[in-house]
Amino acid sequence: MTPKNKNLTVSRAFLNVFLLIVALAWLFPLLWALFNAFRDYGYTSQHGYFSFGGFTLDNFVNAWEQGGFTQSFLNSLIITFFAVVFTLALSSCMAFVLARFSFKFNLAMLAFFVAANLLPPQSLLVPIYRMFMWIPIPEFLSASGSLLDTHLGVIIVNTAFQTGFCTFVLANYMKAIPAEIYEAADVDGASVWSQFWTLTLPLCRTPLAALATLQTAWIYNEFFWATVLLQKGDKFPVTSSLNNLKGSFFTDYNLLSAGSIIAALPILILFFVLQRQFVSGLTMGSTKG
């Protein structure tokens, strides 16, 4: 083995060890929560959390009942599904216009959409709260007649905050589509809507799948706006169920770990199901010159 190949082998070995350490450090909180989720609180309080034993499944049953996961999962499903659909629909339309047509404020509009994602949500808390309180909506959507304390309000604010990022990503993908395809469509007499619906969207299935995975994770785990805009416990998403597992005088961290695993399980399943599309969406175009 030449000195050059030997040095390369040593470098790869160090890199593999470093990546293994980083992966273990990244997975440790999840693995620690999973380990304690199967342990009885009485056993760990007596023997310590670094002991081994006291395994039980009661934590998951108790966490589901005390946390009210049945209702909160339904609330999260409603909020996440409609927010992701609206976000991808609106961002696809805006990205198509920004990528397909050239006009004076094209770049400025794209920068405007991206800049909206740079604002911290806390800075917009008061104006959004007042705006939602003053906007009247039909009573069949809200008993109070406003967007406060409704799933619709949470859906709207999540859509508004996530549309800019999705527009930026999709616009870059759509700009990479060869112009000859659209020129051929123009020759065939295809309308703008036909070019968008039957030509552009099928070519963007990979980035749309990747964005759908990301947006589902972000909106599903979002807690700030749900806490601000919702006021009744039966409307809170699944992230709020973890608060129900905290006691007034002490917290059973084994029970809380079980609740955390329950809350994280749908996102983990979604990621593994769409893993191939997610990775393809992130790496698509990386080899284009």
Higher local confidence (pLDDT), 115 or 38: 38
Residues 121, 161 contacting (CB under 8 angstroms) = yes
Residues 235, 149 contacting (CB under 8 angstroms) = yes
> Strand, helix or coil at 94?
helix
CA distance 215 to 276: 16
13 confidence band (pLDDT: 50, 70, 90): confident
Which tens digits make up the pLDDT trace of 145-156?
888 888 999 999
For residue 19, how far is the Cα from the chain centroid?
25
Cβ contacts of residue 285 below 8 Å, gap of 6+? Answer: 172, 173, 176
Which tens digits make up the pLDDT trace of 65-100?
988 899 999 999 999 999 999 999 999 999 999 888
Torsion of CA 163, 165, 169, 170, to 10 degrees: 0
CA distance 163 to 91: 6
pTM comes to: 0.86
Q: How far is CA 182 from CA 99, 107, 199, 201, 284, in A?
A: 12, 21, 8, 13, 21
Q: So what's the pLDDT on residue 5?
A: 65
